[in-house]
């Protein structure tokens, strides 16, 4: 089984984050030979420091990672071709697909959404001008979708770290983190957010301690404005009951382990959002803002699904915080409501992860789709 995955980095790290994770999993668990075509290798090098941003072709975790240059060099198309997030394949490559004796399966891997129309569109074909069919493959949160990326050993590795206090301490220490024993450990990965200052003030003035870990990124400007001075990597800034620590951007696997260690994870976009769900810990999602506010519907659809089984008070608290965070205001009162339901929200995060883990993972679902199509 040979696969070509095409990734155009639109912005940030989600496009490469998803495709790099998928490529590795297809190789490691499905016995596939995968070529990953990436137009911006520097983005890959941020989440995978072993990557050489200047190399045309390199082998990383047994994935052949190729630079998708503007001038396309002819190659033989693979058996399965994934166009990630409608990135539009090179015209010459599509022509070569059409010329293949045995047809290739052409899939467009779509963005993740919990909206109800996804199930109806998942797996639908669309006829292309050259007679080829392209299928729409939707990740999602139900049996009628393509599922979520989840490596086979992921949850067991998470459980091992979460149940071993020593391993957790050692892992955190390897990142230069030594929280107070009773501090709430929070990771923060978000877009620019004007709600941050109000929330940090509330945390600083609280009775209980919080240790906030912030991988370098777009939220840094808001954080430094609130702090009133530049933050140095690794350094811990103390304000009342709140400690804030800036971390270097880390490898994907390390970031996973960080999510497992935290009591609350603020995540964004698509891939970190999914990884925080697998952590089985409470999360707050900063959704990728879309034109004409289209992201709100997506946010509401996910909350409706996620909140099933929560008491009405806990559901209200979660909705309050998620809406405040995404609206960029009102985090202090919302956070007070959250704290009253913190235990229930923590237990629910585990229930949610278990509920999602019964579905086939995205890589397995793709392989199954290919087998059914053959």
Which residues of the chain form contacts with ligand TRH (CB under 6 A)?
10-15, 17, 47, 189, 215, 249-252, 255, 268-273, 288
Q: Residue 66 or 283: which CB sits closer to ligand TRH?
A: 283
Tokens of 282: 């409470």
- Which H or E element spans position 368? helix 362-373
Residue 56 is among the residues annotated as catalytic for this protein:
no
Residue 253 is among the residues annotated as catalytic for this protein:
no
Q: Residue 14 or 77: which CB sits closer to ligand TRH?
A: 14
Q: Residue 10 or 232: which CB sits closer to ligand TRH?
A: 10
Is 169 buried (19+), middle (13-18) or exposed (0-12) by CB count in 10 A?
A: middle
Specify whether the CB–CB gap between 44 and 58 falls below 8 A. Answer: no
Question: At its nearest, how many Å lie between ligand TRH and the CB of residue 272?
Answer: 3
Question: At its nearest, how many Å lie between ligand TRH and the CB of residue 344?
Answer: 26
Question: At its nearest, how many Å lie between ligand TRH and the CB of residue 82?
Answer: 16
Specify whether the CB–CB gap between 260 and 187 falls below 8 A. Answer: no
Cα angle: 223, vertex 227, 229; to 5 degrees: 105
Q: Find tokens 């339901």 and name the residue.
A: 341
Q: Residue 110 or 315: which CB sits closer to ligand TRH?
A: 110
φ/ψ of residue 350, rounded to 5: -70, -40
Question: At its nearest, how many Å lie between ligand TRH and the CB of residue 373?
Answer: 27
SS3 224: helix
Tokens of 319: 């909705």
Question: At its nearest, how many Å lie between ligand TRH and the CB of residue 320?
Answer: 23
Specify whether the CB–CB gap between 280 and 158 falls below 8 A. Answer: yes
Nearest to 189 by CA among 295, 110, 276, 254: 276
Say which of 40, 270, 315, 361 is annotated catalytic.
Answer: 270
Specify whether the CB–CB gap between 168 and 177 falls below 8 A. Answer: no
Query: Crossing angle, helix 154-162 and helix 271-278, to 10 degrees?
Result: 60
Tokens of 56: 């045309």
Is the Cα dihedral 77, 79, 85, 88 positive or negative?
Answer: positive
Give start and end residues of each alpha helix (H) in the chain.
14-30, 41-47, 91-99, 117-121, 154-162, 165-174, 196-204, 220-227, 252-261, 271-278, 295-306, 312-327, 331-340, 342-356, 362-373
Q: Residue 28 or 250: which CB sits closer to ligand TRH?
A: 250
Say which of 4, 15, 110, 271 is annotated catalytic.
Answer: 15
Question: At its nearest, how many Å lie between ligand TRH and the CB of residue 33?
Answer: 23
Question: At its nearest, how many Å lie between ligand TRH and the CB of residue 336?
Answer: 27
Q: Residue 179 or 215: which CB sits closer to ligand TRH?
A: 215
Q: Residue 270 or 315: which CB sits closer to ligand TRH?
A: 270
- Which H or E element spans position 346? helix 342-356
Q: What is the per-residue DSSP string for 264-297? A: EEEEETTHHHHHHHHTTS-EEEEPPP-GGGTHHH
Q: Rounded to an integer, what distance in angstroms lies between the CA atom of residue 186 and that of residue 175?
A: 15
Active site members: 15, 270
């Amino acid at each position: 089984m040979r696969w070509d995955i095409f990734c155009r980095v639109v912005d940030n790290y989600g496009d490469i984050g998803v495709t790099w994770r998928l490529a590795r999993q297809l190789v490691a668990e499905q016995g596939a030979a995968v070529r990953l075509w990436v137009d911006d290798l520097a983005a890959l090098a941020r989440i995978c420091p072993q990557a050489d941003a200047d190399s045309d072709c390199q082998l990383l975790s047994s994935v052949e990672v190729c630079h998708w240059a503007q001038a396309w060099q002819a190659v033989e198309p693979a058996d399965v071709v994934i166009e990630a997030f409608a990135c539009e394949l090179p015209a010459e490559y599509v022509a070569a697909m059409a010329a293949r004796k045995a047809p290739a399966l052409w899939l467009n891997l779509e963005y993740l959404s919990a909206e109800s129309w996804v199930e109806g569109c998942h797996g639908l074909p669309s006829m292309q001008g050259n007679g080829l069919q392209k299928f729409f493959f939707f990740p999602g949160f139900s049996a009628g979708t393509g599922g979520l990326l989840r490596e086979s050993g992921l949850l067991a590795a998470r459980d091992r770290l979460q149940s071993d206090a020593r391993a957790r301490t050692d892992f955190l220490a390897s990142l230069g983190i030594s929280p107070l024993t009773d501090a709430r450990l929070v990771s923060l990965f978000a877009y620019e957010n004007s709600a941050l200052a109000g929330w940090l003030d509330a945390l600083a003035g609280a009775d209980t301690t919080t240790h906030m870990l912030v991988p370098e990124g777009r939220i840094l400007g808001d954080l430094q404005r609130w702090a009133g001075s530049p933050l140095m990597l690794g350094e811990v800034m103390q304000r009342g009951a709140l400690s804030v620590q800036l971390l270097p951007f880390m490898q994907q696997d390390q970031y996973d382990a960080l999510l497992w260690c935290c009591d609350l994870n603020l995540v964004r976009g698509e891939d970190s959002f999914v990884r925080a769900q697998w952590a089985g810990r409470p999360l707050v999602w900063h959704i990728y803002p879309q034109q004409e506010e289209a992201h709100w519907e997506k946010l509401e659809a996910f909350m409706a699904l996620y909140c099933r089984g929560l008491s009405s008070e806990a559901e209200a608290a979660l909705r309050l915080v998620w809406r405040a965070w995404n609206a960029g205001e009102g985090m202090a009162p919302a956070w007070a409501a959250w704290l009253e339901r913190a235990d229930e929200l923590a237990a629910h995060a585990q229930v949610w992860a278990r509920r999602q883990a019964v579905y086939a993972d995205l890589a397995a679902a793709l392989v199954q789709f290919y087998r059914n199509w053959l």
